[in-house]
Structures are given as structure tokens and as C-alpha cells.
Amino acid sequence: MVAALSRICRIPAVSPHNGGTGEEEKAKEIEKLIFELGLGKVEWQRVDDDKSPTGNRPSLFLEREGTSSRRLCILTHTDIVPEGDLSLWTRSPYLPVVEGERLYGRGVSDNGMALIASLYALKALSNLNVVPAFTVCLGFLADEEMGSSYGVKPLVERGLFRGDDLVIAPDGGNEKGDFIEISEKSGLKLEFAVMGKQAHASMPHTGLNACRAANILSVEVDEALHKAFLEEDALFEPPVSTFEPTRRLANVPNLNTVPGKERFGFDCRVLPSVPLDDVIAVVERVRGEVARRTGATIELEVERSDAAPPTPADSEILALLAASVKGTLGVEPTLGGIGGGTFAAFFRRKGIPAAVWQQECDTAHQPDEYAEIGHIVNNAKVFAAMMMGGL
């Protein structure tokens, strides 16, 4: 499993919308691995994407017939986030290396270890000539990190999933392995473009400093949102809505120029009880006030994902997963919510209950991302138990 995970994580499957070339090469390597494991033939599903070098984004599916035609769908994603600031890494992101009980590399945790664990769970049953209790559907899907517009979202719309599917998206969890996610916050991405007038820094009065206006705007949006939305929900950790200034794009290359344009963004994870329209209204109010006060022109782009209904606590997928976790790891799972977002939301909106679980150290998106080898093994054991009906 470690060798297989290292093999696929040497391929930087970063979205073409985030500076990469997409998942094509990684998907081919996964198909090759599946063939070598003797697990059968994969089905390719492609979604058109003009920014991709191939013109599309590939997702793979592998099915193994069980004693029941009802499907257990274990869905992982093949894409990763970029490595970020390389100076913060002490190892090469795309040369996975084992140190002690850990495997380091970009994508080994998010979502590589669950992907490999699902494959080797099926391989273990195959080696033992055990027929699964359910028809097992393993999905290796594109574009999760950028919102799934070229992955699970259109694939759900194509009708590839059934109303009685048992769906797990192993893309979140904790080190003990006793947390099952049943609900996600709403997501809101805010992109601001602040336009002023470029000038020489020694003659600032001849221009309009977009950097200063952006600084003011960022602070005031931050303060206004945190002041306006104080609700708490103990189902989530953290139990509040979060409003984080994150990305800021480069403006001018030299220090002695007053920039005429600034772009920056906020990542907001909002409790389901808080209407996103109310959040946007606060942002628009602050945007207008800062524009009038500074004289800058401020444009706002909004990408929203309203919270899906939670997975019912008495659903079959949760019972199957909880029994498998308890029987394998000896822990009693608890149910809770996360900041989102995962594949599960797309299924919940379609009325298909879905669960999110894996045992992990939560090093996703970090420098020196790693996975505990013991967790990879445990995840495979839990998935195999689920395939056998929760034994």
C-alpha cells in the first residue's frame, strides 16, 4: 500500500484552473495499478473542460459484484492542491518518502491514502475469495479541490448514482478514528478587485493607492462579519462561522510604485442556520462604504455553496460505518459537522444519505503533508468490513 500510494503521489494532479495540468496522468497510473492488482476493468467518465490539456477531466469507476445488487460506493478524489511555498517544505512534495511510521508527500493524506485503502480492501477480499455483501463501487473522481464542477457534481446529474446507494466519502476525520461527519457548513468564496490609479511612490497624490484601499476593505469586511454573525452550533468544530482572508495576488513587481489594482479573497465557512444572503448583504454594505470613502472602484465576485441537509442519524450508511469502525478499531464513533466541503453534500442534496470518515492526522494542504502508515491499514480494514456488511 505504501509503495502504491507513493507511486500515484509522484504525479502532481493539480487542477488546470489552479496552475496544473489535471488528473489525466494520475488516472492512467491508477488504472494501471488496478490492472496489476487483478481487480478488473475501470470505467472512464469524462467531463469537458476547455482549460485542460486534454479538453476534459477524467474520473474512474471500478465495480465488483456482491451478493446483493445494492451498491456500497466508496468515493475518493484524485486531484490535489498545489504545494504552496516550497521554502516551507523540508522534503520534496512529489518524491514521497517514508520516515518512521509516516509517509510524506503532497496528496498522501488528501486524498491518496483513502484511495489506496479502498483498493486494497477490495484486493484483500479478492485474495480470500470473499464475495462482498454489497456490490462495491469505487470511484476515483476529479476536481474535488476546486468545487467538483468537473467531477462528482456533473456525474451525479448524469444519473450514475442510485437513490439506495450507500455512499461514503473518506475525506475527513481524526486521529482516533471515532468521528463521522454528517453535516457541512455553507461555503462562500469572496474575490475582491480593488481599482485605483498607479503612480510613482514619491508622488502618491497623483494616483490612488489600491493597496491601501484593499487593506482597509479587508480589515473592515473581517470585523463586520465577525461582529454580525455570532451564532454557535456545538455539532461543528469550530462551533462558529469562520470568515478568513486568505489569498492575495501579486500587484506591482517593484517597491517604488503605488499599485493601481489589488485582488484578494476571503474563504467563509458559515453555519447552516445563517443565511448566505445575509452574509453577502453585510459584505456589500462594507464594500460600498469603503468605495465611497477611498474613491476606489471595488468589484466583488461571489461563489456560494449553500449547506446541504444533514445525513439523518438513523440512516443505513451510518449504521454500517459505525459498526465497521467499532468492530475494527474498538471505538464508539460520534457524529458531527465540519467546515466542508466534501462530495457528501452533492448526494445529500439529492436525498442520498452520505457519510464522511477516515482515520487521519489532518495534515491536508500543509507543508510536509504526511499520512500515518497505521492509519492507511486501519482505513483499509474498515472499508473491507463495510464491504462484508459491517462484520
Q: What DSSP element (H or E) covers 251?
A: none
Q: Is residue 79 annotated as part of the catalytic site, yes or no?
A: yes
Bridge-partner residues for 261, per DSSP? Answer: 195
> Rounded to an integer, what distance in angstroms lies between the CA atom of residue 298 and that of residue 291?
6
Task: Say what the pLDDT of residue 355 is.
Answer: 98
Q: Is residue 144 annotated as part of the catalytic site, yes or no?
A: yes
Omega before residue 351 within 30° of 0, cis? no
Mean of the per-residue pLDDT values for the chain?
97
> Rounded to an integer, what distance in angstroms lies between the CA atom of residue 93 and that of residue 154?
30
Q: Which of 23, 79, 171, 262 is catalytic?
A: 79
Task: Say what the pLDDT of residue 340 is.
Answer: 75
Residue with cell 462551533: 239
Over residues 223-261, the pLDDT tens digits come to 999 999 999 999 999 999 999 999 999 999 999 999 999
Residues 167/355, Cβ–Cβ less than 8 Å: yes
Q: Which of 23, 143, 144, 369 is catalytic?
A: 144
Task: Say what the pLDDT of residue 341 is.
Answer: 82
Task: Say what the pLDDT of residue 41 is.
Answer: 97
Angle at 308 between CA 350 and CA 284, to 5 degrees: 130
Over residues 315-366, the pLDDT tens digits come to 999 999 999 999 999 999 999 999 978 989 999 999 999 999 999 999 999 9
Domains belonging to the chain, first-starting first, are 2-184+308-387 (3.40.630.10), 186-305 (3.30.70.360)
Over residues 276-311, the pLDDT tens digits come to 999 999 999 999 999 999 999 999 999 999 999 999
Cα–Cα distances in Å, from 345 out to 69, 240, 350?
Answer: 24, 19, 9
Q: Is the pLDDT of residue 148 over 90?
A: yes
Q: Is the pLDDT of residue 391 over 90?
A: no
Spatial strand order of the sheet with 56-64 comes to: 43-48, 56-64, 135-141, 71-77, 166-168, 354-355
**C-alpha cell belonging to residue 342:** 466534501
* Confidence category of residue 185, pLDDT binned at 50, 70, 90: very high
Over residues 35-88, the pLDDT tens digits come to 999 999 999 999 999 999 999 999 999 999 999 999 999 999 999 999 999 999
> Rounded to an integer, what distance in angstroms lies between the CA atom of residue 252 and that of residue 248?
12
**C-alpha cell belonging to residue 8:** 500515484
> Rounded to an integer, what distance in angstroms lies between the CA atom of residue 254 and that of residue 165?
56
